[in-house]
Amino acid sequence: MTKYNIDRYQRQITLLGEEGQESLRRARVLVAGVGGLGTIVAADLAAAGVGFLRLADNDRVELSNLNRQFLFRPDDIGREKTLAAMERLHLLNPEIQVEGISQTIDNETINELVKDIDLIVDAMDNFATRFILNQAAFSRHLPMIHGAVRGFFGQATTLIPGKTGCLQCFFAGNPLGEIIPVIGATCGVIGSVQASETIKVLTGRGEPLTNRLFFWDGWAGEGTVIDAKRNPRCIICGGG
């Protein structure tokens, strides 16, 4: 590691060691969704020195995004989210690589999006796309960090093929799409949890949220963790 890197990441190296920091530098992460969660996760991972981030989102910045999507500014309205986010992340950490792909995540595009990726971060706002990510993760043996928010509430879990159940084990239904109410503070909590889980998995440090679901109740200011068991009949990871 260069002196610049040792100085920049010294507070992390104390926790992760130089080997852990090098693991982050070599890691390639897909951040699926560049919204309230994705902007938080991407900024945290860029600042931590994750060497390659692929951002996937087909939306453009809207005025209503600015209460929670902190990588964007009013003069970004109308621009592709991935392009604006790439620029901000480069300013935050010019030593990492950031690739922005402005397209819909679906069954036609998922193979290319996960190509050469070590880990998937699910920062989406709908379960239809989450289940596509989930299937891709488990078919390719890639860890996936799930997060979701609604209002003052949020949830997160870490999925590792062969060690945990998959997203479809825990959320078998496919809720209808809707405009989800949310505040930036909730995205900050869950996005930071997702970034922490990503760092733990990539470096092999700590205890990830495997086979557990973390729930955040911002109204009460309380977090709860419950066990999440694999479904042996799951069609994705249970051999059903």
In-domain check, residue 236: no
- Spell out the residues 6+ positions from residue 3 whose beta carbon is closer than 8 angstroms to its own: none
In-domain check, residue 29: yes
Enclosing domain of residue 19: 3-227
Return the CATH number at 178. Answer: 3.40.50.720
In-domain check, residue 92: yes
Distance, in Å, from the CA atom of 225 to the CA atom of 235, rounded to the nearest integer, reads: 25
**Can you give the pLDDT at residue 106?**
97
In-domain check, residue 237: no
In-domain check, residue 238: no
In-domain check, residue 185: yes
Q: How many CB atoms lie within 10 A of CB 173?
A: 7
In-domain check, residue 145: yes
What is the 3 state secondary structure string of the chain? CCHHHHHHCHHHHHHHHHHHHHHHHHCEEEEECCCHHHHHHHHHHHHHCCCEEEEECCCECCHHHHHCCCCCCHHHCCCEHHHHHHHHHHHHCCCCEEEEECCCCCCCCHHHHCCCCCEEEECCCCHHHHHHHHHHHHHCCCCEEEEEEEECEEEEEEECCCCCCCHHHHCCCCCCCCCCCECHHHHHHHHHHHHHHHHHHHHCCCCCCECEEEEEECCCCEEEEEECCCCCCCCCCCCC
**Can you give the pLDDT at residue 191?**
98
The ranges of the chain with pLDDT < 50 are 240
In-domain check, residue 43: yes
**Can you give the pLDDT at residue 211?**
95
**Can you give the pLDDT at residue 240?**
47
Total number of domains constituting the chain: 1
